[in-house]
Amino acid sequence: MKDDENDRVHLSRDHQIELLRQMMRIRRFEEKCAELYTQEKIRGFLHLYIGEEANAVGVITALSKDDAIVATYREHGHALARGLPMAEIMAEMYGKVSGSSRGRGGSMHIFSAAHRFYGGNAIVGGGLPLAVGLALADKMQGTQRVTCCFFGEGAAAEGEFHETLNLAALWKLPTLFVCENNLYAMGTAIQRSQANISIREKAAVYGIRAEAVDGMNVVDVEAAARRAVHSVRRGEGPYLLECKTYRFRAHSMFDPDLYRSKDEIEDWKGRDPIQRLQQWSLSSGGVHIPDLRMIEEAIARELEEAVAFAETGEWEPVEQLERDVTTSEPKRVPS
């Protein structure tokens, strides 16, 4: 691709601080959610994003506010990076009516039409066809908006992955597909379930431009995302990024995590995206220790306020439980 100003990452001091702040917000939020889960404040399924923060932050930084985002069930980080208020996300985790989905979605179904954030989706690969629909609507309306769809490598084994890529390529839809390849589809290593473990190569079958990037390096992810978004916005069709990443925690809070060795986990923790950027920024002089302290203090205050907001929030009144609910019961025909 010809180099373009829009494709570059400008690592000014302010930008370094912002990338760090966004990743650290996600990390502290997820750590707090794990704590609240053990206290039974948060219930149901809980999938943490710890270790993968560079992907949400790097990609979403390259998007405009008019672009759409479709996420997975591990979407707290995407929602935070998109700009949904932390308090509303936490209230949603609690199931309170003040949550982003009125407490009805919980951890896996965070949604905000105002932010063009079209959810978490509990179905593996379920967001892929939704993204194509949004992109098709944008193309028919003649906009220059991009639809970004996050999914895991496990979704690449699903039929809708291939159907979606085929339609996106066939209709040249403005879609950015972002595969967060954390190597394990729940508890199954990718090499045990897929004959070709390169997600990037799967896109080539449909003539879709694609590249693989170090998903533990937020600067690399943002640079790749800017190239991809610029290509899609120019009308060159869909683009796929394979972000090679790793989750430091188990698949979910219910998962005993017996399928990975401790050595493997510790090895990947040595590539922690937050620590990597912190160390580089400190050594290059762009960021200083007091800056990191200020970021941590601000996040701690925000998190404290978010928990208090969720704790004091109201439950949905019983008389409203049927609001926005439709049934498939047949109408009774008068005798």
Task: Kindly tell me if the per-residue pLDDT of 223 is higher than 80.
Answer: yes
Say if 330 falls within a structural domain: no
Instruction: Label the pairing between strands 175-181 and 184-185.
Output: unpaired
Q: Domain of residue 95: give its range.
A: 9-309
pLDDT, tens digit (0-9, with 9 covering 90-100), for 126-138 = 999 999 999 999 9
pLDDT, tens digit (0-9, with 9 covering 90-100), for 268-281 = 999 999 999 999 99
Say if 329 falls within a structural domain: no
* CA atoms within 13 Å, Cβ hemisphere of 287: 24
290 vs 193, residue with greater confidence: 290
Say if 90 falls within a structural domain: yes
Task: Kindly tell me if the per-residue pLDDT of 1 is higher than 80.
Answer: no
Say if 243 falls within a structural domain: yes
**Per-residue pLDDT averaged across 252-259, rounded?**
91
Say if 175 falls within a structural domain: yes
- Residue 117 contacts by C-beta under 8 Å, 6 or more apart in sequence? 68, 69, 71, 78, 79, 82, 84, 110, 111
Say if 238 falls within a structural domain: yes
Q: What is the mean pLDDT of the chain?
A: 93
**Per-residue pLDDT averaged across 114-142, rounded?**
95
Return the percentage of the chain with pLDDT > 70, whole number. 96
**Per-residue pLDDT averaged across 140-167, rounded?**
96
pTM exceeding 0.85: yes
pLDDT band at 320 (very low <50, low <70, confident <90, very high): confident
User: Considering its fold, how many domains does the chain have in total?
Assistant: 1
Burial class (CB in 10 A: 0-12, 13-18, 19+), 253: middle
Between helix 86-94 and helix 289-312 the angle, nearest 10°, is 40
**Per-residue pLDDT averaged across 235-243, rounded?**
97
pLDDT band at 325 (very low <50, low <70, confident <90, very high): confident
Say if 323 falls within a structural domain: no
Say if 27 falls within a structural domain: yes
- Which CATH number covers residue 217? 3.40.50.970
pLDDT value of position 130: 96
**Per-residue pLDDT averaged across 109-116, rounded?**
95
pLDDT value of position 142: 95
pLDDT, tens digit (0-9, with 9 covering 90-100), for 53-66 = 999 999 999 999 99
Cα(289)–Cα(310) distance, integer angstroms = 32
